[in-house]
């Protein structure tokens, strides 16, 4: 009568011979099976004449032995989920690569995505600091690894550091670590600084760069779209006003940063702009290396950055291998948000410079002593320490003129070689100042080739304009190319005194423009 899936319960069992009756046991079994099958109408309180919780029954030790189970599993995965995060770049299980932090991976230098300097600063700020002091950026952190490396952000009293785990020795249990940045921090409120007068600075900065700004940085960098936040730049010789795109939806979705690295890094881009830093060397670029102080003037954990910002960049000091700036990040009213005091950017080279075979030492030389110069005369190039003066008729036929110009260039090169040899013999370690006053490119290239035959000397080569300096700067193996006012040499009838130069080469038309002058002087 019951269905195929219905339970069948037996109410009576046959008693075995010589065994006591178990009818009460059968009755209790039936009630239990009814209840287990889903029938909840059995009144066990009436059946037992007491409530079930009033029974004091001794249970066997097995299989009812007690065992505790945690409400949440104690596993590494759960620990990572429950570990408190101070920020996207500061927690115990931090790992970083281009997949975990795609916005920061758009900071590409020479084809390699690396952590921007603003990222290391953000790691320390996420401790809740109001100021960072003596920040040293020691080594790059590559983001190109397929497996994200572990990054440790540690705070010991006021000292903080960022280091990555490069390798692990499973036998000894020791880890090899690399230090990327360190410094000190404080939680004391920063001293208020004067606001920035944007309108006045804008009037002082006459030069302008717009949409072509990032193309001017393409010689060493390839910033992604979310890091290209500089929209306009106004600059003068020693200061710049940079218009920066502030917080937007793309940055909001990338994480809850205190001072988003994409915005802070945009303040530093101006330091690599060649017309501003003045270094047009095609082989050189600059990256941040040190900051004396990073001051936060607002509580960035509670206050969101505005949609538009300005960065005021001021040139503070210059050294041959480093440049120092002061940078202020302000809103549209000139009120400070963050200040970077004494930011030092260090020079790097795309192609390594050749090793110096012989060290150069400082040797004092008379630079402004006017020696007694001999009267200009036509002399043999076998005497390189005196004046050589030749004239070439400009109206000769083209073949004769080309032959004469080539002959004069060879004479100049031979005289230059003998003069430098003489100077090197008197002082093998010195700086030789050579002024080349000519508009003939082939002659300058040939003379530089002659100078490159003396790698133990350091040459200061002076040319007449910036175009020539950029053209020949990369061809000098040991020395630099500078610009100087050589117009008087090219246009004057008489040869002026130039006691600053060791060697003076003139090859140009005379004032009548009917003859070429070929003059060579080596001064001691």
Give the closest residue to 300 by CA, choosing from 492, 58, 127. Answer: 127
User: Is there a contact between 420 and 414 (Cβ–Cβ < 8 Å)?
Assistant: no
**How many other CB atoms are there within 10 angstroms of residue 222's CB atom?**
16
Contact residues for 153 (Cβ-Cβ < 8 A; gap 6+): 89, 90, 91, 94, 123, 124, 126, 160, 161, 162
Other Cβ atoms less than 10 A from the Cβ of 265: the count is: 22
Interatomic CA distance for residues 524 and 371, integer angstroms: 8
Q: Which helix (H) or strand (E) holds 325?
A: strand 322-330
Q: Which of 265, 331, 502, 508 is catalytic?
A: 265
* Positive or negative: CA dihedral 273, 210, 230, 144: negative
Residue 38's contacts (CB-CB under 8 Å, 6 or more residues apart) are: none
Catalytic residue among 107, 260, 290, 498: 107
- Give SS3 for 401: helix
- 137-156 burial string, b = 16+ CB within 10 Å, else e? beeebebeeeebbbbebeee
- Long-range CB pairs of 72-79 (<8 Å, 24+ gap) are none
Residue 345 DSSP SS3? strand
Contact 380, 392 (CB under 8 A): no
> DSSP H helical segments within 362-517, as ranges?
398-426, 441-451, 466-472, 487-491
**What tokens does 86 get?**
């101070």
Q: Provide DSSP, 252-313.
A: HTT---SS-HHHHHHHHGGGG-HHHH----TTEEEEEEEEEEEEE-S-TTTSPPPSEEEEEE
Q: Taking the mean position of all CA atoms in its chain, how far away is CA 250?
A: 22
Task: Return d(Cα 475, Cα 441) in angstroms, integer.
Answer: 13
Separation between Cα atoms, residue 444 and residue 491, nearest integer Å: 18
Question: Is-catalytic flag, 107?
Answer: yes
Cα separation, 475 vs 170, in Å, equals 51
Tell me if residue 292 is catalytic: no
- List the catalytic residues: 107, 265
């Amino acid at each position: 009568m019951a269905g195929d899936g219905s339970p069948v319960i037996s109410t009576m069992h046959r008693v075995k011979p010589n065994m006591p009756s178990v009818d009460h046991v059968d009755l209790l079994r039936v009630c239990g099976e009814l209840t287990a099958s889903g029938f909840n109408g059995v009144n066990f309180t009436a059946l037992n004449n007491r409530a079930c919780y009033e029974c004091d029954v001794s249970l066997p030790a097995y299989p009812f032995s007690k065992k505790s189970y945690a409400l949440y599993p104690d596993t590494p995965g759960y620990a990572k989920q429950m570990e408190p995060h101070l920020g996207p770049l500061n927690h115990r299980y931090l790992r970083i690569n281009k997949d975990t932090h795609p916005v920061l991976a758009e900071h590409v230098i020479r084809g390699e995505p690396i952590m921007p300097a603003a990222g290391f600063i953000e790691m320390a700020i996420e401790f809740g600091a109001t100021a960072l002091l003596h920040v040293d950026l020691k080594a790059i952190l590559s983001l190109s690894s397929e497996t994200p490396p572990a990054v440790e952000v540690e705070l010991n009293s006021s000292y903080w550091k960022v280091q990555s785990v490069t390798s692990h020795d499973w036998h000894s249990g020791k880890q090899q670590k690399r230090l990327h940045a360190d410094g000190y921090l404080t939680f004391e409120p920063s001293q208020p600084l004067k606001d920035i007068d944007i309108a006045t600075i804008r009037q002082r900065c006459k030069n302008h760069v717009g949409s072509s700004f990032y193309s001017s940085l393409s010689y060493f960098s390839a910033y992604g779209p979310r890091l290209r936040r500089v929209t306009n730049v106004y600059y003068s010789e020693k200061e710049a006003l940079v218009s920066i795109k502030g917080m937007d939806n793309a940055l909001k979705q990338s994480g809850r940063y205190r001072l988003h690295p994409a915005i802070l890094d945009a303040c530093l881009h101006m330091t690599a702009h060649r017309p501003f830093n003045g270094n047009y060397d095609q082989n050189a670029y600059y990256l941040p290396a040190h900051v004396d102080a990073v001051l936060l003037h607002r509580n960035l954990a509670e206050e969101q950055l505005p949609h538009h910002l300005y960065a005021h960049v001021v040139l503070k000091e210059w050294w041959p291998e480093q440049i120092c700036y002061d940078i202020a990040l302000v809103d549209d009213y000139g009120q400070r948000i963050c200040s970077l005091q004494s930011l030092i950017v260090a020079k790097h080279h795309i192609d390594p410079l050749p090793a110096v075979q012989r060290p150069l030492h400082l040797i004092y030389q008379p630079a402004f002593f006017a020696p007694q110069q001999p009267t200009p005369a036509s002399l043999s190039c076998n005497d390189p320490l005196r004046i050589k003066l030749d004239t070439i008729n400009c109206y000769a036929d083209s073949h004769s003129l080309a032959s004469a110009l080539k002959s004069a260039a060879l004479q100049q090169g031979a005289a230059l070689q003998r003069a430098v040899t003489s100077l090197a013999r008197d002082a093998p370690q010195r700086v030789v100042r050579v002024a080349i006053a000519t508009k003939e490119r082939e002659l300058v290239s040939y003379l530089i080739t002659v100078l490159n035959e003396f790698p133990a000397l350091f040459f200061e080569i002076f040319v007449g304009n910036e175009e020539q300096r950029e053209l020949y700067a990369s061809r000098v193996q040991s020395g630099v190319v500078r610009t100087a006012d050589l117009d008087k040499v090219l246009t004057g009838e008489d040869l002026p005194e130039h006691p600053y130069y060791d060697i003076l080469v003139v090859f140009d038309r005379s004032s009548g423009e009917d003859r070429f002058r070929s003059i060579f002087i080596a001064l001691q």
